[in-house]
Amino acid sequence: MKKKIQTLCVYCGASIGASPVYAKAAVELAKAMVQNDIALVYGGGHVGLMGQIADAVMAAGGKVTGVIPEALMQAEIAHHRLTRLIVVKDMHERKAQMAALSDGFIAMPGGIGTLEELFEALTWAQLGFHDKPVALFNTNGFFDGLLDFMQHLVKQGFLKAEHAALLLADADPASLLQQLQQFEMQEGVSWLSRRAAANLGP
């Protein structure tokens, strides 16, 4: 039986962005998560979109877990008004903790750190290290170019179409959460499951 999503890891910028639409979208996603009884796991900062979504989830009565490395406690201005703040040794431990605490992943607008976290989670799904959904909250068409580039990778033979399809996307928070809830990793899609099937074959 498929597990219901109860906690989502949201990757997003430590900056607010050039348009107020991004902060508004963070609040909309936060409200949709709380309405669906989904807790937030994020990078633990108080600034930028990170702070926006954390504040909005808390204000709506939801639960928030922040995970932040010691070295970024000052740089990202750690959020001390969360349900729980976990301070870890480094970025590797941060990402591992966030993944372990979450049933799925959403990337909001952000910079190279957000993209790095997104593609690590997607790579883990492609390889079969987890079977959790990975998605883009494509507010204001922010990720349109990235989605086009994913198809470019497919056309150029560097990415299989079924692996590109692992990256969900939607501009509407309610529809995005529904996609995440309905996601189920198909047998034979991940690299490890293909290897296992090949070894068990005649």
The pTM (predicted TM-score) of the whole model is: 0.93
Q: Model confidence at 194, in pLDDT bands (50, 70, 90)?
A: low
Residues in CB range of 68: below 8 A, 6 or more apart: 43, 44, 45, 76, 78, 85, 86, 87, 88, 94
Tokens of 133: 């959904």
Query: Of the ranges 16-20, 69-73, 182-186, 195-199, which is most confident?
Result: 16-20
- How many whole angstroms separate alpha carbon 17 and alpha carbon 35? 26
Write out pLDDT tens, residues 18-34. 999 999 999 999 999 99
Contact 10, 40 (CB under 8 A): yes
Pick the closest to residue 134 from 15, 11, 4 (CA basis).
11
Tokens of 195: 């290897």
Q: Where are the alpha helices (DSSP H) in 36-172?
A: 48-59, 91-100, 112-127, 144-155, 161-164
Write out pLDDT tens, residues 85-117. 999 999 999 999 999 999 999 999 999 999 999
User: Which CATH topology does 7-200 take?
Assistant: Rossmann fold (3.40.50)
- How many whole angstroms separate alpha carbon 4 and alpha carbon 108? 22
pLDDT of 200 above 60: no
Pick the closest to residue 41 from 32, 53, 31, 49 (CA basis).
53
Average pLDDT over residues 124-138: 95
Across the strands, what pairs with 45? 78
Predicted local confidence at residue 197, as pLDDT:
52
